[in-house]
Structure 1
């Protein structure tokens, strides 16, 4: 098994899943700041990938025997990154591609548009900003919660 290729495969699956589900993931209280990176919790990422990648599901018992710390597992799988920043960086063309003219700039009106997320809080903010505020309610890497919890 090529470990680098495996890491790239699960990274792609995680980012694809995140793109498809970012509206509700952004609103969950699963966000952490770990080693300077803001991302969903390690447990959330591992549980998601275990259902998306059968090979990881088979390897997890061995991986957990080696380290039961989910943050270390995420770091070893090269998944300790902010998915929004990763997607933004991946969507930018390289300077060389721009120089060669091989990348055509799309007009701004071709950008993806999402419906605004529903809000748990009454607010005067536009709906598209509310989900960003809710997603900032973080947990620490140690598993403790900080911030206020969302109650219905």
Structure 2
């Protein structure tokens, strides 16, 4: 059986951070940050995501869900859910939501600890956030597999 990779996405108002799993679904690697000139201009963003799905042999998409810290859902969640629906329609793939609270904070911490200068962080923070979202999802899936096999 061929393992399909998992694509992790951090959907922002002007950017989408992209990460992909290794073929075994153990680790997440940051791929790129897709930028767009306006929030609602998603055609090129979706086309690039579809290209990455083909390139990496993706079978599932994990999309960060930007809930508020008090677990409520605001306008960003609504926009993210609309993006999820569009992705599912366009790609035919399952799009799983993942609570992304603190992923950008964690990404910022990783970059600071790595000595990345503030002016250089903005270029990679969304990609790192996508990687953190995807790694959290992979860790949970792998823990479930271990539990089922244990």
- TM-score where L is the length of structure 2: 0.28
Larger Rg: 1
- TM-score where L is the length of structure 1: 0.28
